[in-house]
A = this chain, B = another copy of it.
Amino acid sequence: MIYNFEEELRRAPKNWGRWGKDDEIGTLNFVTRDHILRSLMTARTGKTFTLGLWINRKEGDPVWIGRRPTVHLMTKDEGTYISGKAEPRPGGGKSADDIVIMHLQGSTQVDALGHYWKDNTLYNGFDSRTTIGGLAKDDVSKLAERGILGRGVLLDVARHKGKGSLDKGEMISFSDLLDTAKEEGVKINKHDIILVRTGFLKTFYEKGPNEFYKDFSEPGITYERELVKWFYENEFIAYGSDTIASEQTYSSTLGIMLPLHIFFLNYLGLPIMEMLWLEELAKDCAEDGQYDFFFIASPLKVIGGTGSPINPIVIK
């Protein structure tokens, strides 16, 4: 391994206390009215893209191992009227209604800051026992009060590397990110929202679940001292990728699973967005050469939620 985990835990930047001891929204504190107005100027053509995955596809939905795909069930539909179990309203009105049973982290989604922690302490110092029965602290409803808005930048690493999709378990290095930005000609600004494309998520649909889950190991960025410093110093507002966990599953630098979940969510209070669908957006950016845009993700205000499904919107 390149790093010693314990030493990095001591050295890594941390935003605890930065916005007071009650803060539960972390880097969303960087979002100011000026920031919003400046970010809006990145919308130059009016083109829009939605980055949410389909939920309840016949072919199945990708989910992290142990989670179950969403179940969608009708409580009322035309069948209800055909069978005489419901009468149309006077005037003839009929309606359909339905229920979903879904993991809050079961599709394109944002992690609440309290979704992941180390030992016994959530982001900003809250006791991890507050997660029991529903996150009393650092839950997703706090992020949802604000929404996630700002200038987004797409770093299309798969394209930069000339691959349809990165390989299983492939590490994206910090210099890969910088090289990608350079090749794209995009300037990265303070308070940006960083989106990294691996091309990996689409292999679920292209190759099928069996191949996707076989020796499951996602590609992505992972802990590097310079990378985390870059996120910290640039005060990025949020980060996302097109894999289920948005980082290299088994870190090439630390030898453990998902260390950025600790350094981003827990240390920096930086929301991670997962399972972003970046295909159409990436194609368009490659065509028009514009890799920045106004980005909006709006999680649901689920009290106690560890995350929320989102369908982010990009306006170029």
A residues contacting B by CB (< 8 A) are 5, 31-37, 40, 43, 45-48, 50, 52-58, 67-68, 70-80, 82-85, 88-105, 107, 114-120, 128-136, 141, 144-147, 149, 254-259, 261-262, 294, 296-306, 309-313, 315
Contact = CB atoms under 8 A, between A and B. Distances in A.
Given A73-B99, A78-B132, A300 B309 contact: yes
B55 A258 contact: no
Contacts of A306: 95-98
Given A36-B46, A78-B79, A311-B147, A55 B92 contact: no
B32 A83 contact: no
Given A54-B301, A147-B313, A298-B312, A83 B78 contact: yes
A315 to B, nearest CB: 6
A77 B46 CA distance: 42
Contacts of A89: 256-258
Contact of A93 (B71, B93, B116): B116
Nearest to A302: B55
Nearest to A101: B101
Contacts of A147: 48, 50, 311, 313
B117 A74 contact: no
A78 B131 contact: yes
B257 A93 contact: yes
B135 A96 contact: yes
A34 B76 CA distance: 39
Contacts of A36: 43, 46, 48, 315
A146 B280 CA distance: 13
B149 A261 contact: no
13 contacts: A33-B46, A34-B46, A36-B315, A52-B298, A67-B97, A71-B101, A73-B99, A79-B132, A83-B130, A91-B118, A98-B134, A100-B104, A297-B298
Contacts of A304: 56, 72, 98
A173 B66 CA distance: 41
A35 B315 CA distance: 12
A136 B71 CA distance: 16
A77 B133 contact: yes
B315 A298 contact: no
B95 A104 contact: no
B103 A97 contact: yes
A272 to B, nearest CB: 12
A303 B68 contact: no
A68 B131 CA distance: 23
Contacts of A74: 73-74, 131-134
Contacts of A303: 54-58, 72
Contacts of A53: 301
A313 B116 contact: no
